[in-house]
Amino acid sequence: ASPLACPQCLRNMSWDKAGDWMGGSFGVLGCASHRFPAVWEIPIFLSRPPVGFSLALIEQGRFRESLELALATSVPKTRGSFTQRRSWARQILPDRSSSFKQALSILPKSWREFFGGRLSDPDFHRIVASARGVPHSRGTARRAPASILDLGCGTAPLAYRLSRLREHMRVISLDINFYLLYFGRRFFTTDSLYVFSDAHERFPFRSRSFGTIVCSGVSEAIRNLKPLVSECERVLNPKGFLLFKS
Tens-digit pLDDT profile for residues 174-190 = 999 898 899 999 988 88
Mean pLDDT estimate for the chain: 84
Q: Where is pLDDT greater, at 102 or 240?
A: 240
Question: CA geometry: angle at 41 spanning 39 and 42, to 5°?
Answer: 65
Specify the pLDDT at position 2. Answer: 86
Q: What sign does the CA torsion over 76, 78, 81, 83 have?
A: negative
Give the pLDDT band (50/70/90) at residue 200.
confident
Interval 193-203 mean pLDDT: 92
pLDDT digit string, tens, across residues 111-170: 777 666 677 777 787 888 877 776 544 443 344 456 899 999 888 888 888 877 765 678
pLDDT digit string, tens, across residues 11-44: 999 999 999 999 999 999 999 999 999 999 999 9
Q: Where is pLDDT greater, at 39 or 52?
A: 39
Would you say residue 217 has pLDDT above 80?
Answer: no
